[in-house]
Structure 1
């Protein structure tokens, strides 16, 4: 009896492959479920499709792997979830100028292919994850105009490809790392953090203000 029931079910999935699961699509749909989307920016995110490559604001490579997520300036609110860490081929995470809130997920440190992460202009709080030190391909990291606290993780000094770094207008404290790419970043990358201090910051001022 059980075998007779299994056969029609197998045929059903053979005829309708659109219901096949896709880990990246599942991850993005789980993210959508957390968020408020008053402009219906995410209305095309249909979980019944084979993969999310036809969704608006999602870009895939030739192998149907998600490499870019563009949700900047979309009036979206809510927390970011750990499911973003499942987008293992992601290169660009553009979430700037929204109302994302809560902590930055540690799981973003799993995105080893990430080149750019732009989270500026949200309501993110808590510490900058130490796991960001795993993002060896990262070139652009902008976390400015949020509510982040704590110190700048020393683990970020290992990001030798990092060219742009901006944590201005938060509530960071402690001192700025002096090794890795940090001596190359301008003073403006750190301003409007009243508790961020140390000789590293003072040492940058004469050079980066053009004096």
Structure 2
């Protein structure tokens, strides 16, 4: 009986550790998205649901997550947003789609987007992006769609 209790305690401890790690990941993703929100002007209030006090950004509008609550998609196209991109976006390590087309985003593409190893699509079409494509994006093996 004692051996069974020990195994249950170990399993409970492992589950608690996994939960803490998942929440830490969700918090860092939420922090990255909050940095983006602070850098953008949002006259239509479309990012109003982006509440940085929530543990999980997967409940925010225009954010899609996988079954492990990791951000995989940002759909922010044609929302009348202005401002600039932030380097913190490079922390969204599971991001596959970054859709920002038809806004008034300006400035350069942060080189930190080269950290997004799973990025398939980066759509910055019809914005005011300046400069060149950072060389770091050239190492993204999954990237098949780049429009700017």
Matched, 1:106 2:111: yes
- Calculate the aligned-residue CA RMSD, in Å: 1.3
Structure with a larger share of its residues in helix? 2
Structure 2 segments unaligned to the other structure (5+ residues): 1-22
Q: 1:45 aligns with which of 35, 39, 50?
A: 50
One of 95, 100, 103 as aligned partner of 1:95: 100
Q: Which residue of 2 aligns with 1:32?
A: 37
- Give the TM-score normalised by structure 2: 0.82
Match of 2:120 in 1: 115
1:71 correspondence with 2:56: no
TM-score where L is the length of structure 1: 0.58
1: CA distance, partners of 2:74 / 2:36:
12
Q: Which residue of 1 aligns with 2:6?
A: none
Separation of aligned partners in 2, 1:138 and 1:125: 20
**Deviations for 1:155-200, whole angstroms, at most 9, x for unmatched residues?**
xxxxxxxxxxxxxxxxxxxxxxxxxxxxxxxxxxxxxxxxxxxxxx
- Number of aligned residue pairs: 125
User: Which entry has the higher C-alpha Rg, 1 or 2?
Assistant: 1
> How far apart are 1:51 and its partner, in Å?
1.1
